[in-house]
Structure 1
Amino acid sequence: MRFESKHSYFKDCARKLKNFKTLCKTLAFKHQMLQGYLMSQSFFDAAVLVEKESTFEPELYSSDIQLCLQGLKFSKTDVKVSPSVTYKGTEYKAGEFVFLGCEDWRHWFGQIVLVLVHHGRDVYLVMKKHETLFLPHLHLFKVERFTEFTHVKVDFLFDYCPLHSYTKGSQQFLVPKHFLCFI
């Protein structure tokens, strides 16, 4: 194969790979992958998809939620509230749980109460923080008690995957979809 100036992409690939035995196959594969990437659309439609949004009026909510949101300096025009938001392909709904962390064998989960969208790109979750008990023989978490309201930006969650709760009698249980690393 001649490396002419019009084949600069192939020259660069050959130099970087340092594999000259299956050069034609490797270059053809890499070129097909590049063309596929360039012709494809983005995997996600948008970073934030909001359904049924409305203007956030903090005075309509309980004093506990207002107290929780005091640290966030939002103006009413910048923030929208929604029962369901899809952020980077993951849908967050009111009533679902997200993992907040653990300390001293206590695991904290947050039950989503509100989903706030700031400037159309930053997603904040207002949650009821619950202490849970891990049951290793069943590999699930039993929701023990409500502690306080808290908020967190979705980018700073320990685990991005929301969980549905299962109720048996008066008890709530959470089954993780994958392993949660407790570091």
Structure 2
Amino acid sequence: MIINGVEMRGLAAGDAAGLARVLTRNRAYMAPYEPDRDEEFYTEAGQRARIEGLLGERDAGRLVPYLLAEQATGEPVGAINLGSIVLGPFASGGVGYWIAQDWHGKGLATAALEEVCRVARDDLGLHRVEAGTLVDNLASQRVLAKAGFTQYGLAPRYLHINGAWRDHRLFQRLLHDDPPGRG
């Protein structure tokens, strides 16, 4: 899928170097929204190990990882993952995403989120997709609203972000009301 000159495609082992570069460039920008990261995270080797773990989760059916890469250069500009996939009567998954600072405001996150919801519904048969944002992350909350998510709760001290346990607003998008197709 192409969005404003950016390709949304499956994450691959060869993406480690590009991810290390973009994450290093955006380190200070993303720090308020991220868990504490060690120095290894920002290296090609660290990203290679991380990707291996993500692809293992994909192969086990628990995660669908995507990369957003500039179509002209192949350089990563963001990522979106559908994870915590549970089939059967729960038929649910959780989504997380990030976009490099210089690519904000171009509709990438909203379009990618809509595509992930389509995959969740049409390919996986999920009933619901959920997401959480820091209470003060209004930009991400706008993205979720544009993609049809509604807030359903507040989770106190939900995730350890930027050195402290942080409250999160919880959102969901119901995709259909059909009975579960998998179990």
Structures share a fold, TM > 0.5? no
Larger Cα-atom Rg: 1
For the superposition of Structure 1 and Structure 2, which TM-score range results when normalised by the shorter chain?
Answer: under 0.3
Higher helix share: 2
Greater RCO, 1 or 2 (C-alpha within 8 Å, sep 6+): 2
Give the strand-richer structure, 1 or 2: 1
Return the TM-score normalized by structure 2. Answer: 0.28
Q: TM-score, normalised by structure 1?
A: 0.28
